[in-house]
Amino acid sequence: MAETTLAPAAPTPLTALTDDEILFRDNIRQFADDKIRPLVKEMDEKGVFEKDLIHEFFQLGLMGIEIPEQYGGGGAKFFEAILAVEELSRVDASAGVIVDVQNTLVNNALLRWGSAEQRKRYLPKMAADTCGAYALSEAGSGSDAFALQTRAELKGSDYVLNGRKLWITNSKEADLFVLFATLDPSAGYKGITAFIVEKKFPGFSVGKKEDKLGIRASSTCELILEDCKVPKENVLGEPGKGYKIAIETLNEGRIGIGAQMIGLARGAWEYAAKYAQERKQFGKPIAEFQGIQFQIAQMATEIEAARLMVYNAARMKDAGVNFVKEAAMTKLFASQVAERVTSLAIEIYGGYGFTKDYPVEKYWRDAKIGKIYEGTSNMQLATIAKLLLGGK
């Protein structure tokens, strides 16, 4: 069966964007429609992201949006990275998360915590042709991120790392990893240290690729470190201060996930709104029934509310004001909206929506991860509550 023609894009709050931001957003939207959309179904079925698309991401400057021009990047703001993630995710959430991890986690960590030599060495690569990944999670260390057991031991001029990482996004494509290990498990969070690890380092390998429910084209793999040698000059920040890097980069990353969620919710809404105008029952389009009209209106209203939360948090980050509470709220609410909207989109399609012949079931599958990665919904609620109530 052929896919339904898309409805016009859901309205965006143009007053929140400058002319340059609107042009940037529209160019990415056109690219996503022209180049990514034709490949979405095949990539989802195969569980592999098209390499040529990643090459085009670099050519378009999408993999180094905030990297300063002196290093070959775009020299833009965090807000532009959020716009890119939203527009790519409207077509394919797997594309959105590849660009999201690169910009909001890896590049941001290097920009903020990297030494002058590290920035000079790695940022030009990140802008030109090198994918990055962020390796924090382990089998026994998820929400309790600082319970990680990957060990780092200084031996001469190198740290030797041993352990395994799990659920690492972009790991098949990445050549550089911001990876966390502990110098002393008994020290708790005070032993955690961040390292810049290259895929070619001896003792490092990428393990099993997970067969996932959603964002299937995005690689999620295990990382294996067996006496992996990392030069001590590749410590990111200071030894024992990795917990601070993890916390602060994840705060930014949560805004990126919020952008991914509103993007995919928009994509599902557009399909549902158009289908409702084409599908006829009882002699007229189902869009003429008030029950359907109310669903379409409710979906659009929630998307708009979530978008404004995402945009506000991103603007706060760029303005240099504290945005921790807003980032947590953004991720929490946007992931809730994405799950509700994509589920309703399937219902509007009826039986067709439950088949893989039509696109909305994929949006629903992709939406589920939003409540899980980069901090579960319960962890966001805990963060929000502590900040509101004065907890530590």
Active site (catalytic) residues:
374
DSSP summary character for residue 101: I
Structure tokens at 269: 């809404």
- Of the CA atoms within 13 Å of residue 312, those in its CB half-sphere come to 16
| CB atoms closer than 10 angstroms to residue 280 | 11
DSSP summary character for residue 216: T
CA dist 8 and 310 (Å) reads 22
CA dist 180 and 235 (Å) reads 10
CA dist 320 and 331 (Å) reads 19
Burial zone of 50 (CB within 10 Å; 0-12 exposed, 13-18 middle, 19+ buried): middle
Q: Which of 9, 6, 4, 39 is nearest to 26 (CA)?
A: 9
Q: Which of 28, 29, 35, 40 is nearest to 3 (CA)?
A: 40
Q: Give the sign of the dihedral formed by CA 95, CA 52, CA 216, CA 109.
A: negative
Query: Which residues lie below 8 Å from residue 82, measured CB to CB, with a gap of 6+?
Result: 255, 256, 259, 310, 311, 314
Whose structure tokens read 């946007």? 334
- Of the CA atoms within 13 Å of residue 70, those in its CB half-sphere come to 5
Strand partners, 178: 134, 196
Structure tokens at 142: 């998820």
CA dist 243 and 81 (Å) reads 24
DSSP summary character for residue 9: P
For 243, left (φ over 0), alpha (ψ -120 to 50), or beta? alpha
